[in-house]
Structure 1
Amino acid sequence: MRTRRTVTAAVAGLTAALLLGACSAVGPTDDRGNGTTGPRPTAYASPSRATSTSPTVAPSSTSSGPLGPTPTPSKAAPDPASIDALIATRYVAGDLRLGREQGSTSAYRQYFVTYESNGLTISGRINIPRGTGPFPAVVLAHGYVDPAVYTNGETMLRERDHLARHGHVTLHIDYRNHAQSDKDPRNDANLRAGYTVDAINAGLALQKASYVDPRRLAIVGRSMGGGVVYNALVVRPGLFRAAVAYAPVSSDTVDNFDKWVRRDASRSGAARAVIGRLGTPEADPAAWAATSPRTYFGRVTEPLLIHHGTADEECPLAWSRESVAALRAMGKSVELDVYPGGRHTLTSPQWDTSIRRTEAFLSKHLT
C-alpha cells in the first residue's frame, strides 16, 4: 500500500499535466522541425519533482524569491495553480543574455540565450534578423516534450526560422525544468503555472532589448504551448499585441482531466486522489473553473489566430471551436483556420499555408 506522500507526489505530477494540457501520455506533442517525434516519455511528468499539493496561499505582490513570488498567508488567497494567483503575481524579468552563436544564417543570427524569470534562470534560443532594428518580436511557447529528453531550443524550428527570415526576433523559451533552465520543484504541484510566468517574463525581457521594438510583441504557442498562450492573454492583457495558437489544448481543464485521467481505468487511483483535492467537476465546478483560462476570457484584449487540423489525433478540433465560441461570446477578436485532414503537427503544404497566414496576421497587428 502506497504512503500518503507517494500518492500526493504522483497526483501532483499527473494533475499538472492534465490541467495545463500535456496532450499525450505516450509521446511528445510538439514538432521538432521535421514532422518527427523523439524519445517517447513514460508519463505526464516526473512525480518526484512535486513536493506537496498546492498550498492555500497566494503569491506576494511585493516580493520574490529564487523560485518566484514569496507566498503570503491569506484566508482568501487563491490556489497557486489558479488563474487568479497568476494575475496576482508580481512579474520580475531580467535582461536577455546572449551566449554561444550557433545556427546563424544569411537572414539572421542565432544565439543560446538566458533571462531571469522571477528569480529563476530560463534558457532558450533567439534569432535576431540581420539589418537595422528595432524589430517586432515573438515569444515561442513550445508543446509538451518530456523534460528528461528535451534539449535546448529543439522544437518549433520551422516557426522561428520563417518568422526571423521575415523580420521578427524570435525567442524560443525552454521553460523551467527544461534544458539549461533552473529547476522549480513546486512547478508540477502548482499545475505548471510557472510556464506561464516564464512566457510573460520572456515578453518583458524582450521589451528591454535594444534590438526589439517594445510596442510590437506577439506570442505563438503549440499544443501545450497553446494553453500557455491562453493563460498569458488572460493574465497579462496588453503585453502582447497579437497571439497565435497551433493545435492548442482545451481552455477548460475539465476536458483534459476527462480525456487523460478520469476515464482511464489504469489511473483510477490518481483520478480519485485528484477529485479528493478539487472535488468532482460536477460537485465543485468553481474549483475547476478557477484553473481554466476560458473562465477569464473576458480579460482578453488582443486578437488571436488559431490553426487546427480536422484529424488532430491528440487535441480535438472541437476544443478550439469551443474556445472560439467562448471568446466570440465575449466580443473578442479570434480567427480559426481549419485544415482538412490535418494532424496534430501540420505537414506541408498545410503548414506552409499556416505559417503564411501567421506571418500576415502578425504583420497586420504588429504594425
Structure 2
Amino acid sequence: MERRYNGRGLRVGQVLGEFGAYTRFAVTYRSEDLRISGIMNVPAGRGPFPVLVLNHGYIEPAIYVTEQGLAREQDWLARREYVVLHTDYRNHAGSDNDPNVDYELRLPYAVDVVNAVRAVKRSDLPYLDGDRVGLLGRSMGGNVTFNALVARPGLAADNWRQFYQPSEDRSDVNARMARTYGLPAESPEFWRAASPRRYLDRLEQPVLMHHGALDDSCPLAWSRATVRAMREQGQRVRLATYAGEGHTLYAQWPRSMMRTTAFFDQNLA
C-alpha cells in the first residue's frame, strides 16, 4: 500500500456562511491523484493564523455531507482564532472516489490528512501560518490522526471489528480482506504490524486524548493501552477522561474544548 504524500493545490471556493468571528468557505485540495473536498473556517482579522486540520469519525459515505461530524469543534476553534480545515476524505461529499478504501482498511484517509497539511504548507494564502499546524480527530478520526502523525498508516488490532462488519453490503469486502490479510486470530503478526502503536517511536508531536468513561463504541481501554505504549517510548501524552460521558461528550464537552484550546495555544505558540 505505497502512498504518495504530495498534498497540493489548496483552493478556496464559495462562501458558505458568515458568522461574525469567522467566514466559512468551501475548499478543495489534491491528495495523490484525487480531488478532496472540505470546508475552511477563516477568522476575521489579518492573520496569519495557526491552522487545525479536523478529522471526522465514521459516517456512512452515502449519507455524509461536507463539514459533517465536528460542527461544534469547527465553530469553537475558529472563534479562538484558528483556521479550521475540515477534510471530507476521499469517497465523501464532493471528493473523488477510491474503490479500494475499505479493502485498504480506510488507511487512505490518513493519506488525505497528511496531504491536507502539506497543501496548507505549500499554500500562499496570507492568512495561513504553515509553520503552525495541528491535528484534531474524533472517534475513527482519532485513529486517522494517529496514523497521520506516525506517517505510517495502520490499524490497531483491537480495532479491526469496525472494518470487518458482518453485513450483505460488505460481504465482498470482508471476504477479500479475509483472503488477503486473514483475521487477527489467523494472522496476528499482520495486525500487530499494521497498528500505529508499532511506530510510536516516530512521533515528534505531543498528544492530548479525551475519552468518555462510559464509551461503548471505542472502549476506554483502547486509549489507556495507547497511552501506556506511548509512555514506554518516552512520548509526551496526556489522557483526560470524563466520568458519566459516552462516545459523544455532552455536559463536559466545554471542559474538553478548554483543555484542547490550551493544548494548541501552548504547542502552536
TM-score (norm 2): 0.91
Name the CA distance, whole Å, in 1 between partners of 2:53 and 2:164: 31
Q: Which residue pairs with 1:356 in the alignment?
A: 258
Q: What's the Cα RMSD here?
A: 2.3
Of 291, 298, 311 in structure 1, the residue corresponding to residue 194 of structure 2 is 291
- SS of the residue aligned with 1:103? strand
Q: Which residue pairs with 1:222 in the alignment?
A: 138
Identity of aligned residues (%): 45
- Is the 1:309–1:317 Cα contact (8 Å) retained in structure 2? yes
Q: Which residue pairs with 1:98 in the alignment?
A: 12
- Is the 2:157–2:194 Cα contact (8 Å) retained in structure 1? no
Q: What letter is aligned with 2:46?
A: T
Of 173, 176, 191 in structure 1, the residue corresponding to residue 90 of structure 2 is 176
Q: Deviations over 1:8-57 (max 9, x none)?
A: xxxxxxxxxxxxxxxxxxxxxxxxxxxxxxxxxxxxxxxxxxxxxxxxxx
Q: Counterparts of 1:163-312 in structure 2 under 5 Å? A: 163-207=77-121, 208=123, 209-235=125-151, 253-257=156-160, 261=164, 274-312=177-215
- SS of the residue aligned with 2:194? coil
Q: Deviations over 1:107-128 (max 9, x none)?
A: 1111111111112111101000
Name the CA distance, whole Å, in 2 between partners of 1:115 and 1:213: 17
Q: What letter is aligned with 1:161?
A: D
Q: Which runs of 5+ in 2 are unaligned?
A: none
- Is the 1:252–1:292 Cα contact (8 Å) retained in structure 2? yes
Name the CA distance, whole Å, in 2 between partners of 1:149 and 1:269: 21
Pick closer, same or farther for the CA change 1:328–1:291 going to 2, 3 Å.
same
- Is the 1:261–1:268 Cα contact (8 Å) retained in structure 2? no
- SS of the residue aligned with 1:109? strand
Pick closer, same or farther for the CA change 1:294–1:355 going to 2, 3 Å.
same
Of 326, 331, 337 in structure 1, the residue corresponding to residue 240 of structure 2 is 337
- Is the 2:156–2:197 Cα contact (8 Å) retained in structure 1? no
Name the CA distance, whole Å, in 2 between partners of 1:185 and 1:283: 26
Pairwise CA distance, 1:283: 4.7
Q: Which residue pairs with 2:24 in the alignment?
A: 110
Question: Over alpha carbons, which structure has the higher Rg?
Answer: 1
Name the CA distance, whole Å, in 2 between partners of 1:137 and 1:172: 10
Q: Deviations over 1:173-210 (max 9, x none)?
A: 10000000011112222221210111011111112232
Name the CA distance, whole Å, in 2 between partners of 1:268 and 1:133: 49
Name the CA distance, whole Å, in 2 between partners of 1:117 and 1:140: 16
TM-score (norm 1): 0.67
Name the CA distance, whole Å, in 2 between partners of 1:300 and 1:277: 29
- Is the 1:147–1:178 Cα contact (8 Å) retained in structure 2? yes
Q: Which residue pairs with 1:123 in the alignment?
A: 37
**Paired positions, count:** 265
